[in-house]
Amino acid sequence: MNLISKDEKIEIPEPDFLDNLNNQQKKAIINTEGPLLVLSGAGTGKTKVLTTRLAHIIYSRRANIKDILCVTFTNKAALEMKLRVEKLIKSPVEGMFIGTFHSIGARFLRKHSEYVGLKNNFTILDKDDQLRLIKQICISLDLDTKIDNPKSFSYMIDQMKNHGLSFDHISNHEYEKKTSGKLSKIYKLYQDRLQNYNAVDFGDLIMLPLKILKDNGSILNQYQEKFKYILVDEYQDTNASQYMLLRLLAGSKQNICCVGDEDQSIYGWRGAQLKNILNFENDFKKSIIIRLEQNYRSTGNILLTASSLISENKERIGKKLWTSDPDGEPVVITNLENDEMEAIFVAKVLKELKKNGVSSSQIAILTRASFQFKDIEDRFIRENIKYKVVGGLRFYERSEIKDALAYFRILVNESDNLSLERIINNPRRGVGKVMLQKLYSISNNKGISLLNSLEYINEDNSVTKNAQKNINNLLAILRKHIKLLALEDHSDVAGSLLDDVGYTSMLQNEKTPEAEGKLENLKKLIVDIKNRSSINEFLEEVSLLSDNANDETNSEKVSLMTLHSAKGLEFDYVFLPGWEEGIFPNQRNIDEYGNKGLEEERRLAYVGITRARKLLNISFVNFRKQYNYSLYRSIPSRFISELPKKSCKVEIEKENSEKRYKKLDTFSSDIFKVGDSVFHEEYGKGIILGINGKKLHVKFSDSSDVINIFSDFVKKN
């Protein structure tokens, strides 16, 4: 008989969890006690490590399923992890705290809502509800919502909550100074309304649990004891509030494992703090750092290119990706003449790949910003290349583009009632459904267009003086620009129309990243109008393009997306167009955040490069269309000079663009051409970036701005 003493533990045979794992992955799984940071480079199997570690803890009975907290950044990732763990341990994991920060915060808050004056059936406001409430508050404070835009306040309040700041802790914050003390008032009223409505927003799902845990030691001790192990995915994307919540819950045991990659921290604009991962060793004493560097996704040349680029960043812990697979094809860097040529080139290579049997689903075009989609989308539609915009809408489906097109259609067709209906209250002019019905009634009774019916609005005493004023102003602006269309450049008229009706300023006043993207899209639209002979021609082309775009017969599509949307994805073939200074790295990000902004841009480039498995093409152009002038000389992105010659090859495409594309010579005067060095008595030396008639667009050495100046006032150097 085999006798076992009570003190002796029976070893349970470990399943084949650790099979097919490299040494670093194994270390990350079996080091269960104490704080652990797993620096997981792109394509190194972080999800596999995280799920296997979780399965290992459960199977080895180190903790009950319900005593583990696992935090992800998306519901999809949480579900995937749960299913993987269940497959590994061959048992359901019901009851485990696994989900996003917001879902776990909501679960906690439902249980302890009374500590913050809420009932447990509270409502969670979405972005639209939040904005509507803030609008109401702005109106109650007699603020002009055209100047003090509710969207801007909504964005700032979100940012405050991301940083763990309540309304009584922001007196010295730049936002408070920027809004002349209005933000704290609106923030307080907003929170009061939420309380009255028994409602919370997404920021509160972190802020309120934080408050409960800080104010109630017994509840804090309860959860610190409960969560024997904490696992966090995408740690580099955590904001200040999320970081503070994790620190509290980790308690004295500090059995916390954070998996992330500082080189893929690209969400600073929405509150993510890179320092959370950089300071891990200081924040959690006696911590271990394990680097996952063996990549299972990309070729050697792609990895060498990515590693060389990201090594230029100073704010990183450091790692170097490698693979046991072959080097593969070199990274191709293609120099093209202009942006249309770039789109033609991408389409040509795609067709060659298709001929060679490559599936469209394995091809992606990744850009720094969504406004760069325009030329590529147009080309794809013309050449019947099926594509999908991931994480956003097609160019002509975007609300700001539809609004602008509606304004332009009225210029060429005063009887277009549907277009007028779309824009009559956009920006807001006090025209609701009732007033619109009245206008249609006038239109029908008098047999006139909806536009002409605006003349009669002053005769209706039920319409407020302010609404009458706004409508009269709109009518005057539209008629003015209809007349101007016959006298002035059609693209200038289109651009000034959007300015005069207040559409441009509406977006500018929002002061949000989304609004900035919309403004860039509108600029792209105006540029495209400039390259057509008339607005009529342009609108007809758009209609035909939109008709072709609706053909969904082929489910196989090329993916078109921004670099931010591409994180976490991978493709066999990746194109990275638009690698030029100002576009990528984004100049606005550098201007606002300096070197920190530049390093985040470089991390974004790193993310783009590491999406590719087999083939990567980076492209830049010599001349790009720009708002307010036809062409400007582009400067190759500084990131290109940081790529290693060993893993890259440069190709220069000299093929001519379509005949209808306006050549640079069209915009050159007899004396000056783009690229010339010039001198001005006041501004000094400069370079001509664009020419529009006698107007030069010059970047002077002593100024960060491009200055428009008549050619009569400068001379060649």
Which residues are catalytically annotated?
Answer: 46-47, 233-234, 264, 611
Q: How far is CA 359 from CA 383, 387, 389, 611, in A?
A: 17, 12, 17, 16
- Closest by Cα among 569, 561, 564 to 513: 564
**Cis omega before residue 427 (within 30°)?**
yes
Contact of 197 with 123, CB cutoff 8 Å: yes
**Cα 215 to Cα 117: distance, rounded to the nearest angstrom:** 13
Assigned token pair, 498: 């959007």
**Cα 68 to Cα 494: distance, rounded to the nearest angstrom:** 59
Pure H helices in 361-502: 373-382, 399-412, 417-423, 433-446, 450-453, 465-484, 490-500
Pairing mode of beta strands 612-626, 331-338 = parallel
**Cα 64 to Cα 43: distance, rounded to the nearest angstrom:** 31
**Cα 301 to Cα 399: distance, rounded to the nearest angstrom:** 41
Contact of 630 with 314, CB cutoff 8 Å: no
Residue 157 CA to its chain's centroid (Å)? 19
Q: How many CB atoms lie within 10 A of CB 296?
A: 13
**Cα 466 to Cα 430: distance, rounded to the nearest angstrom:** 8
First to last CA, the chain: 102
Instruction: Please give the radius of gyration of the chain, using alpha carbons only, rounded to the nearest integer.
Output: 29
Strand order in the sheet with 229-232: 97-100, 68-72, 229-232, 256-260, 36-40, 288-292
- Which residues have CB under 8 Å from 475's CB, separation 6+? 451, 454, 455
Q: Which letter, b or e, does each residue of 250-262 get, where b requires 16 or more Cβ atoms within 10 Å of its Cβ? A: bbeebbbbbbbbb
